């Protein structure tokens, strides 16, 4: 340690004459600096002299609080260290007295550190140093401290400064303007950036494990240069920052620096890096430097004998340019790290950190798709999300526009260099390509048209398309297109309307692509909006009129299918066009000989005759239109019109729950519109009640499943189950749906649907109980109460099958441990449903509710006892009539009815024969179902062999009855 000027003189004579002469020129005149620059100097000096683990602080206040801290070993001393910077631009004597007051003040703030280092620009005499130390010791004892003081005054700081010549550049040229800078200083704005601003370097680092590993190995290798290449915005600089943080900052051997100027003073740099330490120098965007400068830096690294390494970043197309000054055979000694887009798993991880708990996480697959794994787009999307702006508006961001322009400048420059094509002509060609994509870049017909339109030779067009493919501007196996889509959107924003019109006329075969691409572009005031609308109206109008007699019906149907497919892709940007397409489809579906009508009838007669029916495309368009509140009424009307024509119950899926509802936090605006439109005039759509019932049933589900391609693996399927919350909107929708079901149940014109409507009402309670499988059970006793109130009110009017259904459901409710508050009402309903006649008694005798209640009891004995009791109470006619009333509503006989009939045949044969004859006489459809069983049983029973003649006669009756039924 040196504390006096004499120590400095002893130390300086140990330096070689040449180095001493160089260093002596770099003395510090503190009169030219301020306190901020002194703070920067102290922080940098501590990093060089003590450790990279010294932690600097900045805080408001008289002295800025603690300026730096460190825990570890320095100069043979180990412990906790506290550093305080004191800058005084006064005469030396006055500075000493101020420092004395500083010492007294600082002692009171000590926290028991082992060492306190006072760093000041004031040069002190030995006796002044001793007095400051004595003052510290006296006040230290008063505060019961054991801290040791070290004073680094002006002369000592100068000594240390000379040991680290890199400081001379920073002091002379400025810490933030020097040609060599610390990366934390050079990238300060990006490292401190928040809110996903462009060029941010503070976001979470995702993936790139191979790249980090290669750079880590580079540190320990003999290689002098590493080149990280990739397209602009792919994350080259972010990789370097992570490498510095993870591998360089954590080692004492290496110091990371950034070359911040293209005007390089090589002698100054060589001298500054000549003494202590190893340095890794980043040349960011090396393609912007003169290749000879890169070659000179390489020579500097070579003569340093491993103390200096170079780290370059460059764009893919220009990476070779930065190495032109280096001999070809030396290229093998350069480590090359090629960065491409993030894979889907890495892209998902990048979004996950910020979106996992938000509604956008439900659209992670779509976010991965539109970002295309490019960090610059991921940041732009996240910024849009957190600023509550629509994601599609990111293409209007000036930064992204500038970025895309610079990104494709590489293509324009390379094409100009190789084919002498001006940038303007190259841009026009790129706009044309962006308009008609995707297409096969080897398609000779398209190449010919591009050549003619842009007055370029075919080889030049082929070269341009090849460059786009080779350098990753486009992707695709059979057909190529610019990716991500936002890049082509930005390109098309500048397209001239007249030029676009010419392209449309020249590329009719690509009209579908043109419409989709133009629809994605912000129209503004450029005239493209009018051009697009005119084109779209004519395009969609082809649904009504396809006059070409040379085209077959199948081809016309295919063209209409293409039109509807295209319209389906632009619904969200051109909903009015989608509305017109639906109207044209429905107008022409009733016209004989129209392709739409022919296709419709073919699908009715032969399901799946066409691979994808046009009706399915219309349904998809209507579903998309439900994203716009202004089209709710249109969709409502058209769905019923479609159903009247097709009777396709799958139309009900339009109103089923989807991820759209999850994202909107289950506001359920679409569903509420449907319910309230029905409530306004519920009788208007009675003819379509089957569709209404299916839609209402879907609105009462409490969970739903979404099937979609996996976000991270295109070959996998993602299955996600969502549960509806017990929110006010969900509760109100279910309440209104229940009221509608009850209303429709009571309509006399819908009496044939009563049983199905009743089942839907009863299913409400089952759905509530089933929700226990969901993460959070749906609880709403008021809904259960409404159902039970309805049952109690209508119990005496229920028909046989309704009674059976209600009793079975009530048994299940009790089995599912329904709340005790409902048990009295359930008991009351059961009492109201007690049999009032023999038919009702039979119905309940074979119901599942009775079977459940008799679990463990011998059902055969029970049926036999009941059969004997009934026979003992009722005569043959009463039983036969009751059995007919009981059986007729059933599509299939109840499970234990055959046991009952067997008992009649064995023990009360006259009742069975009477039942047979009764069915025959009234020509009941039941005769065909039961007669054969009755007669065959009688035929094979030994007891009645003597009556074989009568049985054979009855067989004739049965055959006659069968003929009657068949007729």
Beta strand pairing status for 717-723 and 703-709? antiparallel
Q: How far apart are CA 251 and CA 52, in angstroms?
A: 8
Q: Show the CA angle centred on residue 858, arms to residues 852 and 860, nearest 5°.
A: 105
Q: How far apart are CA 923 and CA 964, in angstroms?
A: 8
* CA-closest candidate to residue 522, choices 627, 400, 408: 400
Residue 822 inside a domain? The answer is no
Beta strand pairing status for 481-482 and 308-314? unpaired
| Same domain flag for 328 and 191 | yes
| Same domain flag for 185 and 330 | yes
Contacting residues for 604 by C-beta, under 8 A, at least 6 apart: 646
The CA distances from residue 726 to 357, 694, 729, in Å, are 19, 22, 8
Q: How far apart are CA 959 and CA 962, in angstroms?
A: 5
pLDDT of residue 332: 79
Q: What is the DSSP letter of 608?
A: T
| Same domain flag for 187 and 328 | yes
Q: What is the 3-state secondary structure (H, E, C) of 614-664?
A: HHHHHHHHHHHHCCCHHHHHHHHHHHHHHHHHHCCHHHHHHHCCCHHHHHC
Supply the DSSP string of 872-892, one letter for each residue: HHS-HHHHHHHHHHHHTT-SS
Residue 238 · residue 375 · CB < 8 Å: yes
| Same domain flag for 642 and 740 | no
CA dihedral 686, 738, 629, 681 (to 10 degrees): 30
Q: What is the DSSP letter of 439?
A: B
Give, to the nearest 10 degrees, the angle between helix 800-815 and helix 754-770.
0
Q: What is the DSSP letter of 750?
A: G
| Same domain flag for 518 and 534 | no
| Same domain flag for 210 and 305 | yes
| Same domain flag for 190 and 249 | yes
Q: Is 65 helix (H, G, I), strand (E, B) or coil?
A: coil
Residue 638 · residue 677 · CB < 8 Å: no
Residue 723 · residue 775 · CB < 8 Å: yes
Give, to the nearest 10 degrees, the angle between helix 781-794 and helix 754-770.
150
| Same domain flag for 722 and 779 | yes
Residue 474, domain extent:
398-523
Contacting residues for 922 by C-beta, under 8 A, at least 6 apart: 884
pLDDT of residue 484: 86
> Of 493, 523, 553, which residue sits at a domain end?
523
pLDDT of residue 494: 81
Beta strand pairing status for 148-152 and 115-120? parallel
Contacting residues for 182 by C-beta, under 8 A, at least 6 apart: 44, 256, 257, 258
Residue 384 inside a domain? The answer is yes
pLDDT of residue 587: 93
Supply the DSSP string of 161-214, one letter for each residue: HHH-THHHHHHHH-TTTSSEEEHHHHTHHHHS--TT-TT---SPP---HHHHHH
Contacting residues for 868 by C-beta, under 8 A, at least 6 apart: 903, 907
Residue 399 · residue 696 · CB < 8 Å: no
Please identify which residue in the block is written with the tokens 């600082």.
106
Q: Is 700 helix (H, G, I), strand (E, B) or coil?
A: coil
Residue 372 inside a domain? The answer is yes
Residue 967 inside a domain? The answer is no
Residue 687 inside a domain? The answer is yes
Q: Give backbone dihedrals phi and psi of 717, rounded to 5 degrees, phi first.
A: -110, 135
Residue 823 inside a domain? The answer is no
Please identify which residue in the block is written with the tokens 């030994």.
942
Q: Estimate to the nearest angstrom the gap between the alpha carbon of 801 and the chain centroid.
A: 48
Q: Give backbone dihedrals phi and psi of 260, rounded to 5 degrees, phi first.
A: -105, 5
| Same domain flag for 578 and 670 | no
| Same domain flag for 461 and 489 | yes
pLDDT of residue 9: 33
Residue ranges of alpha helices (H) inside 471-571 are: 485-492, 497-506, 511-519, 528-541, 553-569
Predicted confidence (pLDDT) per residue in 409-462, tens digit: 889 999 999 999 999 999 999 999 999 999 999 999 999 999 999 999 999 999
pLDDT of residue 777: 87
Residue ranges of alpha helices (H) inside 67-125 are: 92-107
Tokens standing for residue 723: 């549960």
Q: Estimate to the nearest angstrom the gap between the alpha carbon of 306 and the chain centroid.
A: 47
Tokens standing for residue 844: 């309940």
Q: How far apart are CA 298 and CA 291, in angstroms?
A: 11
Residue 28 · residue 171 · CB < 8 Å: yes
Residue 516 inside a domain? The answer is yes
Number of structural domains found in the chain:
7
Q: How far apart are CA 787 and CA 757, in angstroms?
A: 12
Q: How far apart are CA 121 and CA 28, in angstroms?
A: 10
Q: How far apart are CA 80 and CA 302, in angstroms?
A: 39
Predicted confidence (pLDDT) per residue in 836-884, tens digit: 999 989 888 888 777 767 665 678 888 889 899 999 999 999 999 999 9
Low-confidence ranges of the chain (pLDDT < 70): 1-27, 58-64, 195, 197-198, 522-529, 547, 607-611, 852, 854-857, 941-967
Q: Indicate the helix (H) or strand (E) that contains 582.
A: helix 575-588
Q: Give backbone dihedrals phi and psi of 110, rounded to 5 degrees, phi first.
A: -65, 145
Q: Indicate the helix (H) or strand (E) that contains 280.
A: strand 278-283
Residue 156, Cβ density class (10 Å: 0-12 exposed, 13-18 middle, ≥19 buried): buried
> Of 621, 647, 673, which residue sits at a domain end?
647
Q: How far apart are CA 212 and CA 224, in angstroms?
A: 17
| Same domain flag for 182 and 314 | yes
Largest Cα separation within the chain, whole Å, is: 145
Residue 103 · residue 92 · CB < 8 Å: no
* CA-closest candidate to residue 639, choices 623, 658, 624: 623
Residue 337 · residue 228 · CB < 8 Å: yes
Measured distance between the N- and C-terminal CA atoms of the chain, rounded to whole angstroms:
120
> Of 130, 163, 196, which residue sits at a domain end?
163
Length of the chain: 967
Q: How many CA atoms lie within 13 A of 951 on its CB side?
A: 19
| Same domain flag for 641 and 532 | yes
| CATH classification at residue 72 | 3.40.1350
Q: How far apart are CA 308 and CA 139, in angstroms?
A: 47
């Amino acid at each position: 340690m040196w504390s006096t000027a004499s120590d400095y003189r002893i130390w300086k004579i140990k330096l070689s004459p040449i180095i001493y002469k160089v260093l002596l020129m770099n003395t510090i005149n503190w009169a030219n600096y301020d306190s901020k620059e002194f703070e920067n100097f102290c922080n940098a000096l501590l990093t060089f002299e003590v450790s990279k683990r010294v932690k600097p602080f900045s805080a408001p206040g008289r002295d800025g609080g603690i300026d730096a801290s460190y825990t570890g070993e320095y100069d043979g001393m180990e412990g906790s260290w506290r550093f305080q910077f004191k800058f005084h631009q006064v005469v030396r004597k006055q500075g000493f007295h101020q420092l004395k007051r500083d010492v007294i003040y600082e002692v009171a703030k000590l926290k028991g550190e082992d060492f306190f280092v006072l760093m000041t620009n004031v040069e002190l005499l030995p006796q002044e140093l001793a007095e400051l130390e004595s003052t510290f010791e006296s006040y230290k004892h008063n505060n019961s401290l054991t801290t040791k003081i070290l004073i680094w005054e002006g002369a000592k700081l100068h000594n240390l400064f000379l040991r680290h010549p890199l400081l001379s550049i920073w002091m002379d040229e400025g810490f933030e303007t020097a040609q060599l800078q610390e990366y934390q200083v050079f990238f300060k704005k990006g490292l401190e950036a928040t809110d996903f601003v462009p060029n941010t370097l503070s976001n979470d680092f995702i993936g790139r494990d191979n790249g980090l590993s290669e750079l880590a190995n580079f540190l320990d290798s003999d290689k002098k240069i590493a080149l990280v290449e990739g397209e602009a915005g792919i994350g080259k600089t972010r990789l370097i920052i992570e490498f510095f943080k993870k591998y360089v900052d954590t080692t004492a051997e290496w110091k990371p620096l950034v070359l911040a100027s293209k005007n390089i003073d090589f002698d100054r740099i060589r001298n500054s890096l000549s003494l202590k330490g190893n340095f890794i120098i980043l040349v960011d965007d090396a393609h912007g430097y003169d290749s000879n400068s890169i070659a000179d830096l390489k020579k500097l690294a070579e003569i340093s004998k491993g103390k200096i390494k170079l780290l370059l970043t460059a764009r893919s197309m220009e990476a070779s340019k930065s190495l032109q000054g280096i001999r070809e055979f030396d290229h093998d000694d350069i480590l090359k790290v090629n960065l491409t887009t993030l894979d889907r798993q890495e892209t998902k991880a990048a979004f996950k950190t910020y979106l996992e708990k938000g509604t956008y996480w439900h659209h992670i697959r779509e976010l991965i798709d539109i970002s295309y794994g490019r960090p610059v787009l991921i940041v732009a999307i996240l910024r849009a999300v957190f600023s509550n702006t629509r994601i599609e508006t990111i293409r209007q961001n000036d930064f992204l526009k500038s970025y895309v322009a610079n990104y494709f400048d590489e293509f324009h420059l390379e094409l100009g260099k190789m084919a002498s094509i001006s940038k303007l002509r190259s841009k026009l060609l790129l706009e044309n390509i962006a308009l008609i994509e995707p297409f096969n870049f080897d398609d000779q017909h398209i190449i010919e048209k591009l050549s003619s339109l842009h007055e370029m030779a075919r080889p030049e067009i082929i070269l341009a398309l090849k460059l786009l493919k080779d350098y990753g501007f486009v992707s695709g196996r059979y057909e190529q297109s610019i990716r991500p889509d936002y890049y082509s959107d930005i390109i098309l924003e500048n397209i001239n309307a007249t030029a676009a019109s010419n392209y449309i006329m020249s590329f009719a075969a690509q009209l579908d692509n043109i419409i989709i691409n133009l629809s994605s572009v912000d129209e503004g005031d450029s005239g493209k909006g009018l051009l697009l609308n005119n084109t779209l109206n004519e395009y969609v109008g082809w649904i009504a009129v396809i006059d070409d007699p040379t085209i077959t019906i199948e081809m016309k149907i295919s063209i209409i299918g293409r039109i509807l497919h295209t319209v389906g892709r632009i619904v969200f940007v051109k909903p009015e066009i989608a509305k017109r397409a639906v109207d044209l489809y429905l107008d022409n579906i009733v016209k004989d000989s129209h392709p739409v009508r022919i296709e419709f009838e073919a699908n009715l007669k032969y399901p799946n005759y066409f691979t994808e029916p046009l009706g399915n495309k219309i349904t998809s368009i209507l579903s998309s239109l439900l994203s716009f509140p202004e089209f709710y009424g249109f969709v409502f009307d058209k769905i019923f019109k479609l159903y009247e024509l097709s009777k396709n119950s799958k139309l009900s899926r339009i109103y089923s729950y989807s991820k759209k509802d999850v994202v909107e936090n289950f506001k359920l605006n679409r569903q509420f519109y449907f319910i309230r439109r029905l409530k306004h005039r519920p009788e208007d759509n009675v003819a379509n009640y089957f569709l209404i019932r299916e839609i209402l049933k879907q609105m009462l589900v409490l969970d739903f499943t979404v099937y979609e391609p996996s976000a991270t693996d295109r070959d996998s399927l993602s299955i996600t189950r969502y549960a509806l919350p017990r929110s006010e909107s969900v509760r109100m929708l279910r309440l209104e749906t229940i009221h509608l079901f009850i209303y429709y149940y009571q309509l006399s014109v819908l009496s044939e649907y009563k049983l199905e409507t009743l089942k839907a009402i009863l299913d409400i309670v089952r759905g509530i109980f089933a929700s226990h499988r969901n993460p959070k059970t749906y609880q709403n006793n008021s809904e259960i109460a409404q159902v039970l109130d309805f049952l109690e009110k209508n119990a005496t009017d229920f028909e046989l099958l309704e009674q059976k259904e209600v009793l079975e459901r009530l048994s299940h409710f009790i089995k599912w441990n329904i709340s005790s508050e409902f048990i009295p009402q359930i008991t009351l309903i059961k009492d109201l449903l007690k049999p009032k006649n023999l038919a009702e008694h039979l119905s309940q005798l074979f119901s599942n509710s009775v079977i459940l209640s008799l679990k463990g009891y011998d059902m055969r004995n029970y049926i036999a006892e009941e059969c004997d009791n009934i026979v003992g109470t009722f005569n043959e006619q009463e039983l036969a009539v009751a059995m007919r009333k009981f059986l007729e509503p059933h599509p299939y006989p109840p499970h234990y009815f055959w046991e009952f009939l067997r008992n009649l045949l064995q023990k009360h044969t006259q009742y069975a024969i009477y039942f047979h004859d009764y069915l025959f006489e009234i020509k009941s459809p039941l005769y065909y179902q039961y007669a054969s069983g009755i007669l065959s049983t009688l035929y094979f029973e030994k007891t009645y062999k003597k009556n074989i003649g009568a049985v054979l006669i009855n067989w004739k009756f049965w055959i006659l009855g069968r003929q009657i039924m068949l007729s």
